[in-house]
Amino acid sequence: MAPVVHAARAASCGPRRDRGQRAHLSGLAAEDIALRGYAARGAQVLTRRWRGRGGEIDLVLWDADTYVFCEVKKAASFDLALNRVRPGQIRRIFDSACEYLGRTPEGQLAPVRFDLALVDVAGDLRIVENAFGDF
């Protein structure tokens, strides 16, 4: 006998899953754009979507003897992308960066920078260095 599925639940699973899949793919595409931008500057990618106990860091890079922790945001415009960054998210990025640095030879004494990579609907990139201030 087939399991009973409520019609409202079945109807919401498809579109919701589709939105989630589109958002995931859009995020990956925005990260690819950011990675190309950093590579053009000579930065080296250390890891992508690094997950610590505090949360996820989109990109961890090595740029001019500095660890760069980068949050990537995509929206219709740079301003809308910037407005999607929340204080709680910044705290989680800081917490995860501390954990990541604990695994490096320099530890908490490592030089670091927190960047924000903004991608608009046209795929244009704006990198805001030290977007979250000094660490």
The answer, yes or no, to whether residue 72 has pLDDT greater than 80, is: yes
3-class state of residue 10 by DSSP: helix
Q: Do the Cβ atoms of 87 and 43 come closer than 8 Å?
A: no
The answer, yes or no, to whether residue 67 has pLDDT greater than 60, is: yes
Span 3-51, pLDDT tens digits: 444 444 444 567 777 777 877 788 889 999 999 999 999 999 999 999 9
Task: Give which of 130, 41, 32, 42 is closest to 90, Cα–Cα.
Answer: 130
- Mean pLDDT in the chain? 88
Give the residue carrying structure tokens 């990579």: 117
pTM confidence score: 0.82
The answer, yes or no, to whether residue 55 has pLDDT greater than 60, is: yes
Higher-pLDDT residue of 69, 1: 69
Please, what are the domains in the chain?
7-128 (3.40.1350.10)
Backbone phi and psi for residue 60, each to the nearest 5 degrees, phi listed first = -120, 125
Distance CA 57, CA 94 (A): 9
